[in-house]
Chain A
Amino acid sequence: MPWLNMTIFIPFLFALLVPFIYKKFTPKIHTGWFVLVVPILIFIYLLTYIPAISNGKFIHSSLPWIPSYGINFTTYIDGLSLIFGLLITGIGTLVVLYSIFYLSKHREALNNFYVYLLLFMGAMLGLVFSDNVLVLYVFWELTSISSLLLIAYWYEREKSRYGAQKSMLITIFGGLAMLAGFIMLSIITDTYSIREMFTKVDSIVSHSLFLPAMLLVLLGAFTKSAQFPFSIWLPDAMEAPTPISAYLHSATMVKAGIYLVARMTPIFGGTAEWFWIVSGIGLITLLYGSVNAVRQTDLKALLAYSTISQLGLIMSLLGIGSAAMYFGIGDESEVYTVAILAAIFHLINHSTFKGCLFMVVGIIDHETGTRDIRKLGGLMNLMPVSFTLTIIGTFAMAGLPPFNGFLSKEMFLTAVLNVSQMSVFNMESLGSLFPIVAWIASIFTFVYSMILVFKTFRGKYRPERLEKKVHEAPIGMLLPPIVLASLVIGIFFFPNILSNYLLKPAVASILPSLAMGGEIYVKKISAWHGWNTELYMTIGIVVFGTLLYIYLRKWIRIYLFYPQSMTLNNMYNSGMEKSEDLFQSITNRYMTGSIRDYLVYIFAFIIFIIGGALWLLDGISFDHSQDASISVYEGGIVISMVISAVAVLLSNSRLTSIVAVGALGLLVSFLFVLFRAPDLALTQLVVETVTTALFLLCFYHLPQLRKEISKVRFKATNAIISIGVGVVVTIFALSVNGTKLFDSISSFYENSYELAGAQNIVNAILVDFRGIDTMLEILVLAIAGIGVYTLIKLRLSGGDENEGTK
């Protein structure tokens, strides 16, 4: 097995070992220490690829899975997937380290936790390294499932289960849509490999399935990355343990959708639909997330909405950057290439500072016992390290120097300003909205960032509201956020190292058509870029943001005006309830529990299907040329049969019906005689008599025999259905009789004496030519006999509870 493919399986294999390790070493050693090895090793292994990738090489290895269907486990590393791989393993390492100190080895079920976490890590690695769309989908669903398990880690809490169910419903809904999109893509291109799809872009764009495929793939990406309006699952996923929130719901899984959009940009990019949907939804999400984050009182919920908002920012940048595909190689496209660069850059930045912030919030929760902003305050002197880390994280999130968020925020503003000048895709009319929306959203981002720092750490310390005595966290818990915070500052001062080694190949892999000629043009990232519009906008953000924060108490009540019933969450909840009620009532309407109704459905189905098929396929044809003549006495017998049949239907008592049925049986046997079938007539007679006797036996057991005798309930529906079935079957039989496609094979059985030594053809067929049928019919009779015997003899105590209730 190639090393690269092995890398993806290591977390899965180690997950198998975790329960044994847990059993052996608990409570002496925290299980997390053993798990820590896995992400570190993979991280170091992936680091060795950086030189090759930054030189524009690709690493590719394939492992056959279902080769006959063209489904191979193909892994492919380029700049984009390497960045994701490093994020997954790097932050994974830190999260595992953090969780060792966060989760108690005495109280928590650590074996479950680390199995789920490793499962997720492996799935996420598989997702970003897969080249085959179906394999990608498999890993995609694995991340959904492991995320479900991790959100519901404290499954005894109701809110955890609610959050887990919600996230599962939404992400799996999107995942299935994405699968449909992938299948459409593979129908268009006749391949499952993403790289091979890149070479067939021209045929994809002109295909009629282009738009459906694009929409379905985007649905998957948007649900996973919590874009508007599918963002509602992310705040509820905050019921997970904080390491999980930091890892899955800020740094890795929610970026799977971003990864997918970036990965699919070479296929769909350059079209107006892609540009508008991706950047439009991204901007809406950006605004929605930042506006909603301000009103949150729970620190994790605030961070969740901030994550939604930042993901929207990255998404909109990817949309804007796809315009570069439209312009092709040239100066004009370079302007939009910056957007892609900004997207990737902000993706890394966001993972660092948001991971750091989540971990700090976890520390605060751990040390004070609450995450409620209204209870917290004045922690600055008590938790100086956490305070510093929060300052770094939030100021990076708000986009202030000297933190990495400043650089990517500036690039974001550059991109929206550039795109507002664009002259294609109808941007002349709506283009000016882009910078305005971005600017307003950035102001709100600034406001909630300030809330996060100052409401938690400044103000008055109120120990009476807190459950615990507050003190600084242990060093092990602080170490992972310290590493991330130092990355936040480090990237600000040396952005171009990151840019040269990781960002440039990533941009090249998102825009392969522009990188054809070798090197792709990437602007040098610099902290100081002169007095330009972006800087003025940033100054405006700080000024307005500060003003809004100072007067927060005055205007925060505006949120109360927004009706509770109009929130997306409420719509989701009532939608779920109403759809359950709706389907319940639909099911109750036709699943009545009455056999008569089900028979009506079945017979109506027969009428419509057989009758409809006869009608539509021109099957109705009557041919009387072959018919034998009818003698008078035959007609008379048939008439008396009809009379007795009608008597069965219209009789007033059961006994009359039985007698009429008996008469019918006798007449049928006479009909057999008239049609020269002595064996049939014999059997018919005996069976008829036995049946009559059995009916009489049943009568004895019917409760209140004489009183219950009532008229057969006559209903119009019954009549219509039964007449319909009769007519359809009659027409069908007559039509079949009229169209004989080939001669009968009965002439073969005429020499039964020579072949089987039998003079009776019927009996020769029954026991010789087609003896197996007879054997199985004997079996049927045996089963029926045993069944009757057991039903009578095997009366379980108490009997059926429904018996006798009527």
Chain B
Amino acid sequence: MINFILICSLLFLTFSILAISYRLVVGPSAPDRIQALDALGVNLIAGVAIFSVFLRSVAFFEIILLIGILSFIGTIALAKFIERGVVIEHKRSE
């Protein structure tokens, strides 16, 4: 029973990812796409978690944390790029 529920959740997550990729492709603006990427990260966190339960394994728990951190960093970098045009600012050059 629990396996069925887990697979169903994975399926819904897949639909969600497909929907996100629609937004990723169509846009229409860059912030839309970046938000889609961020949402994709969140969906992946959920997917990995469900899959770990499904496998009865703790081997993927680090990945969950890592996706959280990296998706945050990625979103910040992209956002900063849109805002300032650079990712790392060189104080010296100013």
Which residues of A are found within 8 Å of B11, using beta-carbon distances? 632-633, 636
Within 8 A of B (CB), among A340-395: none
The main secondary structure of chain B at its interface with chain A is helix
- Given known pairs A662-B37, A670-B47, A685-B66, the reply for A647 and B74 (CB within 8 Å) is no
Q: Mark A612-642, 1 if CB is under 8 A from B, else 0.
A: 0000000000000000000111001101100
Asked whether A700 lies within 8 Å of B87 as measured between CB atoms, the reply is yes
> From A694, which residue of chain B is reached at the shortest CB distance?
B87
Asked whether A640 lies within 8 Å of B18 as measured between CB atoms, the reply is yes
Count of chain A to chain B residue pairs whose CB atoms are closer than 8 Å in the complex: 120
Asked whether A678 lies within 8 Å of B59 as measured between CB atoms, the reply is yes
Residue count of chain A within 8 Å CB distance of chain B: 40
Cβ of A644 within 8 Å of any chain B Cβ, yes or no, is yes
Within 8 A of A (CB), among B20-64: 20-22, 24-25, 27, 30, 33-34, 36-37, 40-41, 44, 47-48, 51, 55, 59-60, 62-63
Which residues of B are found within 8 Å of A688, using beta-carbon distances? 70
Cβ of B88 within 8 Å of any chain A Cβ, yes or no, is yes
How extensive is the interface on chain B, given as a class? 35 or more
Which residues of A are found within 8 Å of B40, using beta-carbon distances? 663, 666-667
Asked whether A633 lies within 8 Å of B74 as measured between CB atoms, the reply is no
Within 8 A of A (CB), among B54-82: 55, 59-60, 62-63, 66-67, 70-71, 73-74, 77-78, 81-82
Asked whether A663 lies within 8 Å of B21 as measured between CB atoms, the reply is yes
Which residues of B are found within 8 Å of A692, using beta-carbon distances? 74, 77-78
Nearest Cβ distance between residue B42 and chain A, in whole angstroms?
11
> From B76, which residue of chain A is reached at the shortest CB distance?
A693
The residue in B25, B40, B88 that gathers the most chain A C-beta atoms within 10 A of its C-beta is B25
Asked whether A659 lies within 8 Å of B48 as measured between CB atoms, the reply is no
> From A705, which residue of chain B is reached at the shortest CB distance?
B85
Q: Mark B11-22, 1 if CB is under 8 A from A, else 0.
A: 101110110111
Q: Which of B13, B71, B82, B88 contacts A697 (CB 8 A)?
A: B88
Asked whether B78 lies within 8 Å of A656 as measured between CB atoms, the reply is no
Asked whether B70 lies within 8 Å of A693 as measured between CB atoms, the reply is no
Nearest Cβ distance between residue B39 and chain A, in whole angstroms?
10
Cα of A633 to Cα of B47 in the assembled complex, Å: 10
Which residues of A are found within 8 Å of B44, using beta-carbon distances? 666-667, 669-670
Nearest Cβ distance between residue B81 and chain A, in whole angstroms?
5
Extra 20 A-B pairs, beta carbons < 8 Å, given A663-B20, A682-B66: A633-B14, A643-B18, A643-B22, A644-B25, A655-B81, A655-B82, A659-B33, A660-B33, A663-B36, A666-B40, A666-B44, A667-B40, A669-B63, A670-B44, A670-B47, A676-B55, A678-B62, A688-B70, A693-B74, A693-B87
Chain B residues engaging chain A, CB cutoff 8 angstroms: 7, 10-11, 13-15, 17-18, 20-22, 24-25, 27, 30, 33-34, 36-37, 40-41, 44, 47-48, 51, 55, 59-60, 62-63, 66-67, 70-71, 73-74, 77-78, 81-82, 85-88
Chain A residues engaging chain B, CB cutoff 8 angstroms: 631-633, 636-637, 639-640, 643-644, 646-647, 653, 655-656, 658-660, 662-663, 666-667, 669-670, 673-674, 676, 678, 681-682, 685-686, 688-689, 692-693, 696-697, 699-700, 705
